[in-house]
Chain A
Amino acid sequence: QITLKESGPTLVKPTQTLTLTCTFSGFSFSTFGVGVGWIRQPPGKALEWLAIIYWDDDNRYSPSLKSRLTVTKDTSKNQVVLTMTNMDPVDTATYYCAHHSFGVVMFDYWGQGTLVTVSS
């Protein structure tokens, strides 16, 4: 059974750096092809893909946000960390992590999401 859960601050100030952790179970980065992605959704708006990290430490970033994003993993802890720099009120959103497999462009298991508000 695959589960994922996001954790991190609910409120950050403009210009600060956001750090979110995704803790998962039911799969492992020790397995070929495993990936974890990040997707966000501003209140009342559409989904937006942010990043993916793979079992082999390869990663992919949204072209529009690439300069602000970093994603890393800790295989032993079954965790993925997303950092986003220079936060702005427009970055207010629910941030989701999701299971992904190399070679298949979809996210088949999602965390419950965590709402991050950017405000001074």
Chain B
Amino acid sequence: QSALTQPASVSGSPGQSITISCTGTSSDVGGFNYVSWYLQNPGKAPKLMIYDVSKRPSGVSSRLSGSKSGNTASLTISGLQPEDEAEYYCSSYRSSSSSFDVVFGGGTKLTVL
């Protein structure tokens, strides 16, 4: 069982917007602005899409945006395109007794209908 909770799947039609949630605790998502999101296509390495809750690395589409409220972070993709279909993982820094920990969500399969 993953440390962060994501829906197993979400879907949307081209042009629509979808939101993927990522729920943690006050020790990770809620306590720090260190939430990141990764896209993973089958058989490929993950690709960073969002970091520090809402920052986009260079080259990532502005259709993707990140936010956070309390212990839940969200990834929103607007204007869905077929190439957005992939698995998405959230990640967060977690405060622990060992002082540094990085936790991931279980992943969300995005299907573009």
Contact = CB atoms under 8 A, between A and B. Distances in A.
Contact of A110 (B2, B46, B98, B101): B46
Given A96-B46, A104-B51, A110-B45, A46 B93 contact: no
B47 interface: yes
A104 B57 CA distance: 12
Interface string A42-67: 00001111001000000011110010
Given A105-B34, A106-B36, A46 B107 contact: yes
Interface in A21-49: 37, 39, 46-49
Interface in B39-64: 45-48, 51-52, 57
B96 interface: yes
A106 B47 CA distance: 11
B46 A104 contact: no
Interface residues of A, number: 22
Contacts of A105: 32, 34, 36, 51, 91-93, 102
Contact of A49 (B51, B102, B107): B102
A111 interface: yes
A104 B104 CA distance: 16
B110 to A, nearest CB: 15
B104 A48 contact: yes
Interface in A71-120: 96, 104-108, 110-113
Contacts of A108: 48, 51, 57
23 contacts: A46-B2, A46-B106, A46-B107, A47-B38, A47-B91, A47-B104, A48-B104, A49-B104, A60-B98, A60-B99, A63-B97, A104-B52, A105-B34, A105-B51, A105-B91, A105-B102, A106-B48, A106-B91, A107-B36, A110-B46, A110-B47, A112-B45, A113-B45
Contacts of A113: 45
